[in-house]
A and B are shown apart, each in its own frame.
Chain A
């Protein structure tokens, strides 16, 4: 038997008895960021491919929620900071080794583009919109002229945004559950999947819905594969990683993860979408709502479970 106790002094709140430094803000932001990245990725992709007509919601309507998602997410991030008055220090340095620095700068690119994207499509929502000033019309014309360039930038940076939300966690070797490089692609896939789900929810065209249901099934498949891979990796790794995996294999996160995320958030919506493609009558809202809830819960679980996993010494 081995017992290790801290006999004095160490009663630092937020660290003892286990780390509680990141609360609801971070997972909420990671969800919103991933969702925005997913929606913007599809908007940019179909613009580059020249398929705006077939995918009107993905290209023109769905991006309208991304500035809101990003601003709410950024506000959550700001609330999470302990030294809020100095948040601008993020933008006086570029630190390539720090994923958080990458993220801060990526958001500086993606957020303005999301606003510009909405401005270019404002007539879809308000048909009688008038920019009033000539320079605004000039700006509008400028961005329209460089739409493809902007789409390429958006495509790349939305992928970085989706990926970095996972890398943010995986860069911490002190928390074995997070310390797996699969988390980057996993969060990216989940972000794209929630993006597709949001587009299905907003779409009015049956064909577009079916197209995104097909994309979503593929993404969910990749996600499930990555999750299984992640646990295989943990179980084949060191004791600290095995114990991190055990949080999900019999530990406190078993039910929330396997029932609510894996079954209800991934497996069930995938089955519903397959049924829909096979022309069964399924209310089309159910699958995307389950995907969105699963994506949100997935990030909360990873954020909290990661803080409970640690090295042994």
Chain B
């Protein structure tokens, strides 16, 4: 089982619904977020191209955060998701510095927090992650890459896609449809 997510950059309008849904579902403290919107503008007026991406932890297959964690708090969990064991984390910040996507942040309570793909609170109960389920343009696809019938496998078969900084060697599990 390998959980992954695909983000359709052609359909995403950057409404931030995914951000708010995540904050609500996961009780993310005010002023922090586990997912966010990036808007990239390319070119010179009037020839402009815009790409909107809903970004979050890439749940890398070769995760630098898991490698550098001195206590094993950052670990691979079910379906290859990268999670943090709250009471093993000492808050040293090594994983935050090691993430090329800057997906982690120190929770005000001290441990390090990040996107969990809503593994325990939703996915294991058969639901999609909160961000996927609320997206008004249906631009987020979630599922198991090993299951050819999952929404994410099917959309990746049909569409062209990219990952972020593949040259960092992290083998990310967050795909962007282009």
Contact = CB atoms under 8 A, between A and B. Distances in A.
Interface of A: 1-16, 19, 21-22, 80-87, 89-90, 92-93, 95, 97-101, 103-104, 171-175, 238, 307, 310-311, 313
Interface stretch (B105-113, B122-130, B148-156): B105-113
Contacts of A16: 102
A92 B32 CA distance: 30
B169 to A, nearest CB: 7
Interface string B74-91: 000000000000011111
Given A14-B106, A22-B97, A95-B69, A8 B165 contact: no
Contact of B168 (A81, A87, A101, A311): A311
A19 B98 CA distance: 11
Nearest to A12: B105
Q: Is the interface of B mostly helix, strand, loop or mixed?
A: loop
Interface string B28-39: 000111011111
A86 B107 CA distance: 14
Interface residues of B, number: 51
Given A21-B96, A83-B89, A90 B44 contact: no
A108 to B, nearest CB: 13
Given A1-B43, A13-B31, A8 B68 contact: no
B70 A3 contact: no
A93 B93 contact: no
Contacts of A310: 100, 102
A2 B39 contact: no
B72 A93 contact: yes
Contacts of B139: none
A311 B70 contact: no
Contacts of A5: 38-41
Contacts of B164: 313
A174 B111 CA distance: 20
A226 to B, nearest CB: 22
A82 B68 contact: no
B138 interface: no
B19 interface: yes
B75 to A, nearest CB: 11
A16 B31 CA distance: 12
Contacts of A307: 97
